[in-house]
Structure 1
Amino acid sequence: MKILFSFLPKEEQRLSLINRFPQVDFIFHKDLNENELKTASVFVTYGEDLKPSHIEGAKKLKWVMVASAGLEKMPLQEIAQRNILLTNVRGIHKTPMAESILAHILSIKKSLPLIAENQKKAEWSKRVPSSELYGSTALIIGPGAIGGEVGRLLQAFGVHTIGCNRSGKTASYMDEMVSFKSLKEVLPKADIVISILPSTEETRGLLTYEHFKSMKESAIFMNYGRGDLLKEQDLKQALEDNCIAYAVLDVFAKEPLESDHPFWSMPNVIISPHISSHSSQYVVRALEIFSRNLTSYLNEESNFENVIDVSRGY
């Protein structure tokens, strides 16, 4: 059985897979090798290189493993038509992303950017605003694995957490839960609004100017899900109108963000260039999930982790 990678794990990681699964023919490339894909049974990818034409030509393909959580660039319809197993690495992002989110919140609350600027100017100034997380309220839109970890950390700081998802069903480390339908009702309560939503038909354009207008003027808005959650012009206008105090953005409608985009020069916008999930442990964790699933695959079992409902895209 041939397994094709379109990215190159470290040498010790490649050797570990080869030694653990000697019955498998592993092919590693830095990018997608179309000829190798035609005879591969399993394809391991970051999810941005696979096109509908590739699915058509990959007659032996039975399983696609995406070493990412996002699937919006995948040819889902063609994968569904071929009944190809699709899995991802949902859950491995929760530690680095939750730490990144908390770091930015604390940085704003404790005015770390201003402190850094004062240091550059050798300016001894105690006129630095500082506020506490304790006693505040955070609305987490998309309280899955990542959102739950964010909620856990925030609760440790004494923050009241409200989760918001499609159904309103209970999620881990949320003090309250609401559905998308009740979003406007809870936004005025939140000091921090964090979106960690995937890109689906239900989430694209979910937030509008009216949502930002209903938030506290002191609120921090953070988007760590997907850029198509909102129209960037709506967010820009909301910031200019002082509807909210800050926006921390890790994702954008078009990436990389163009150098002349107004967000770069706005004093109340913090740009994180889609790096919140970066970690030295990222590939390690991804390959751990892949190895467990590969063991099940080789044993002809069906207990796979992170199987994607292709019709929903998550």
Structure 2
Amino acid sequence: MTKPIIFLQKTFREEFIKKIQVIAPDYQIKTSLTEKDIPDVEISVGWAKKFEDQLLATQQLKWVQSISAGVDYLPLDKFSEQDIILSNGSGIHALSISEHIIGVLLGYYRGLNEAVKKQSRNEWAQESIHYDQLAGKNLLVVGTGHIGQQLSKSIRSLGVSVYGINTTGHPADGFVETYSIKNMAKIVPEMDIVVGILPGTHETYHIFNSDIFEKMKKSAVFVNVGRGDTVHTKELVTALEEKYFSFAALDVFEEEPLPKDSPLWRFDNILITPHISGMTIDFQNKFMKILLENLKSYVANKKLSINQIELNRGY
């Protein structure tokens, strides 16, 4: 009888391949697939889009471990129909994304963004540099999961008061207060900084729109490191034109790469980064802690111990 396959869509170091094999000795480990292999794939680490239809057609796939935190690019409805369990890489990128957010905020408040532009033109323009203080600001984290909690922990040491938005308004570690997502428009006017860290779901699609932007302080900052489609791009462009708030730092977009003709490129009051906030040092070690823990549980009882996704919610 052919052993079932664990398919690794990403190349991992040999030390990790050996650990996987020790935990799951009754499985084959494959880093590439042939047509002959597909009917035996039971576990997919990562997702190979080119094999999607074939993998789902076999009815043998039982578990997908996403390498990313976001899973909106996966066929969740089909996973649900076939009782395929799904887990993600949530938590791996928390520190990196938190540092990115703090970095872009300091770049704006301390005038570093302007200084870099003026340096490229050999300009010494001390008097015209915008500056402010991060300490004392109220920051609203929209999405109080692993990343939001790490951001709160990190930025509070700089004197920032951190508030949170989540689905129900349930309490979360490190926040002065949390509110339900349906009340976000009521809270936004009190905030100096609004940070989006939301997954892409039906409920979060275009949740950052004119209704939110128009209620922000004129001096406020908007940051998005969640999913690009949580922001209504056309209404964001209007908000920037009308100066509903003072500055935006965007790392994710509805269309990536951001098209060269996107109107977002033309604004001075925006920082565009190419989806780099989640780039993480020693990623494989961090990811393997999740995969190996889940693999032990799956081999023992066909269940997962951490990061399992509720397919009907998308997170």
- Fold-level similarity (TM above 0.5): yes
With 101-110 and 69-78 compared, the bigger mean Cα shift is at 69-78
Tell me the residue number matched to 1:98: 98
Partner residue, 2:154: 153
Q: Secondary structure at the match of 2:49?
A: coil
Q: Which residue of 1 aligns with 2:233?
A: 232
Counterpart of 1:221 in structure 2 is 222
Stretch moving more, 301-310 or 36-45: 301-310
Superposition pairs of residues 197-276 of structure 1, within 5 angstroms: 197-276=198-277
1:182 aligns with 2:153: no
Offset at residue 254 of structure 1 (A):
1.2
Over 3 Å counting, the alpha-carbon distance change for 1:303 and 1:71 in structure 2 is: closer
Which residue among 18, 27, 30 is the counterpart of 1:27? Answer: 30
SS of the equivalent of 1:312 reads coil
In 1, Cα distance between equivalents of 2:10 and 2:294: 18
Deviation at 1:280, TM superposition (A): 2.4
Where structure 2 has 5 or more consecutive residues not aligned to the other structure, the ranges are none
Amino acid at match of 1:312: R
Whether the 8 Å CA contact 1:37–1:43 is kept in 2: the answer is: no
Aligned to 1:122: 122
Report the equivalent of 2:57. Answer: 57
1:6 corresponds to = 9
Name which of structure 1's ranges 118-127 and 56-65 shifts more when overlaid on structure 2.
Answer: 118-127
Name the CA distance, whole Å, in 2 between partners of 1:48 and 1:225.
23
Change (3 A) 1:52 1:19: closer
Q: Distance in 2 between matches of 1:33 and 1:103?
A: 44
Matched to 1:119, the amino acid is Q
Aligned residues: 311
- SS at the partner of 2:29? strand
User: Structure 1 counterpart of 2:314, which letter?
Assistant: G
For the Cα contact (< 8 Å) 2:23–2:295, is it kept in 1? no
Distance in 1 between residues matched to 2:264 and 2:36, nearest whole Å: 42
Residue 293 of structure 1 deviates from its aligned partner by 0.9
Alpha-carbon shift at residue 301 of structure 1 (Å):
6.1
Structure 1 residues 34, 85: CA separation in 2 closer, same or farther (over 3 Å shift)? farther
Equivalent residue of 2:44, what SS?
strand
Cα distance between partner residues in 1 of 2:118 and 2:207: 39
Provide Cα deviations, 1:70-97, integer angstroms capped at 9, x if missing partner: 1111111111121112111111110111
Q: Larger deviation: 254-263 or 234-243?
A: 254-263
> Matched residues, percent identical?
31
Q: What code does the residue aligned with 2:307 have?
A: N
Tell which has more relative contact order, 1 or 2 (C-alpha 8 A, sep 6+). Answer: 2
Q: Secondary structure at the match of 1:140?
A: strand
SS in 2 for 1:299: helix
CA RMSD of aligned residues (A): 2.0
Name the TM-score, length of structure 1 as normaliser: 0.92
Return the offset for 1:262: 1.2
Residues 55 and 79 in structure 1, CA contact (< 8 A), matched pair in contact too = no
2: CA distance, partners of 1:6 / 1:262: 36
Opposite residue 263 of structure 1, the aligned amino acid is L
Asked if 1:298 is matched to 2:303, the reply is no
Per-residue CA deviation, residues 173-202 of structure 1 (Å, 9 max, x unaligned), is 110111122211111111110010111121
Q: What amino acid maps onto 1:221 in structure 2?
A: F
More divergent stretch after superposition (119-128 vs 278-287): 119-128
